[in-house]
Amino acid sequence: MTDSPIPLFKVFMSDKASGSVSKVLSSGYITQGPEVEKFEEVLKNYFSNDKVVTTNSATSGLHLIFHMLKEYGLGEDKVKIDTALDHVLTTPLTCTATNWPIILNDINLRWVDVNPENCNMDLDDLESKVNKNTKAVLVVHWGGYPVDLDRLREIQNNFYQKYGFKFVIIEDSAHAFGTKTDKEMIGNTGNISSFSFQAIKHLTSVDGGCINFNYKEDVDRAKLLRWYGIDREENRKDFRCESDILNVGFKFHMNDVNAYIGRMNFEPVTKDLLKKHENNGIYYNDKLKNIKNVELMDYSNDYSVPFWIYTIKVKNRDRFMEHMKNKNIIVSRVHERNDKHTATKSYQEDLPLLESFIDEMVCIPVGWWVGEAEREYIVESIKEGW
């Protein structure tokens, strides 16, 4: 169909961003300044959540969240890692960026199995694994498809009845910018949510991320900790010298150049591109049904999902990948499971559900660059067989 391959990911950079970023570059203010504030305002509006804190990446954001869980506690109840036995329950099917911050904060983790019907955390397995040492549950909305948050809250409430506190729910929403369930928007669910604005995400600021909190004290603390522990808003005698620092912090803040690019990309992404991702997903849900050697995920029609990746299960995956390569269509598993690395050997446990489909799953192009002709070609190429 085309001479050049249909990519699995593509960087979206608006003309507005690339055409006018030099204004910021030559403004004399290129690190954190007014542009960061403006981008945060745009994000707060979008999520209808006034507790948004930007960072220089989602990885930094997650590192900050787990640092806060370890050192200070999160939420109104200040749920905190108190003993070496305390742990975070998490999914292994994700980017290393999800789980490495837990390990680097020296917090115990336990893997939860993965639901073969949507690649999200298996909530039955979660329910069987929570215990008094569970301080947080970290979920990923794989490909943008939301975890069943009602069920997750039910597990959290039952947990509360039993143990007298609620584990913190942290959503790694790096794939889920713009996702809405029938009731709520990811980023405003009452949980802590982490987004990525890295190059190939729906909305890019080149690199960047944000954390959406739901508790004001966490916002204030995160703002201090993202910049050395220094209060940027304090009145100072000498403008260069901070006053007393209570707690040491990181250098995780977003800068004005990234914030400006993010803000300039925001409108075309939210007004146009997300819908293209969503429509391509809806198209595949229909057109890839009943094809030999292909099994689809069990996606609900009640949700609005601008799929970041579209995952299917195929027999003879290596042959499928070779076939798609010959058709000039880029496909990939995208993320290696985190639990099989040498670095995570000590956490290993049996995950039979993940085992049952890991050799079959693969992701096909679904983003804004996949037009009607491209998606038809992708479906026809799959129908041809391999």
Applying CB under 6 A, among 98, 133, 134, 188 the residue interacting with ligand PLP is 98
Site string for ligand PLP, 181-210 (x = CB under 6 A): ---------------x-x----------x-
Based on CB atoms, which residue is closest to ligand PLP, 123 or 138? Answer: 138
The whole-angstrom separation of Cα 75 and Cα 69 is 9
Return the range that interacts with ligand PLP (CB under 6 A); candidates 93-101, 220-228, 318-326, 339-347.
93-101
DSSP 3-state assignment of 342?
helix
When asked if residue 172 is in the footprint of ligand PLP (CB under 6 A), the reply is yes
* Smallest gap from residue 292 Cβ to ligand PLP (A): 31
How many residues in the shown chain lie near ligand PLP by CB under 6 A? 14
Which residue from 209, 171, 210, 174 is spatially nearest to 189, judged by alpha carbons? 171
Residue 157 tokens read as 């409430």
The whole-angstrom separation of Cα 305 and Cα 177 is 9
Return the range that interacts with ligand PLP (CB under 6 A); candidates 90-98, 108-116, 221-229, 260-268.
90-98
- What is the amino acid identity at position 186? I
DSSP 3-state assignment of 192?
strand
Applying CB under 6 A, among 95, 224, 273, 366 the residue interacting with ligand PLP is 95
CA torsion sign, 40 to 46 to 51 to 56?
Answer: negative
Query: Do 155 and 130 contact (CB within 8 A), yes or no?
Result: yes
When asked if residue 99 is in the footprint of ligand PLP (CB under 6 A), the reply is no
Based on CB atoms, which residue is closest to ligand PLP, 193 or 381? Answer: 193
| Dihedral over alpha carbons 172, 173, 175, 179 (to 10 degrees) | 150
Which residue from 55, 57, 59 is spatially nearest to 253, judged by alpha carbons? 55
Q: What values do phi and psi take at 169, rounded to 5?
A: -100, 120
Based on CB atoms, which residue is closest to ligand PLP, 252 or 284? Answer: 252
- Compute CA distances 265 → 132, 210, 254, 309, whole Å: 44, 15, 16, 20
* Smallest gap from residue 240 Cβ to ligand PLP (A): 31
Based on CB atoms, which residue is closest to ligand PLP, 133 or 344? Answer: 344
The whole-angstrom separation of Cα 151 and Cα 232 is 40
Q: Which residue has the tokens 């203010």?
A: 29
* Smallest gap from residue 332 Cβ to ligand PLP (A): 13
Residue 336 tokens read as 């290696």
* Smallest gap from residue 122 Cβ to ligand PLP (A): 17
When asked if residue 174 is in the footprint of ligand PLP (CB under 6 A), the reply is yes
Q: Which residues from 48-77 bind ligand PLP, rule CB under 6 A?
A: 57-59
Return the range that interacts with ligand PLP (CB under 6 A); candidates 157-165, 168-176, 316-324, 354-362.
168-176
Contacts to ligand PLP by CB under 6 A: 57-59, 94-95, 97-98, 140, 172, 174-175, 196, 198, 209
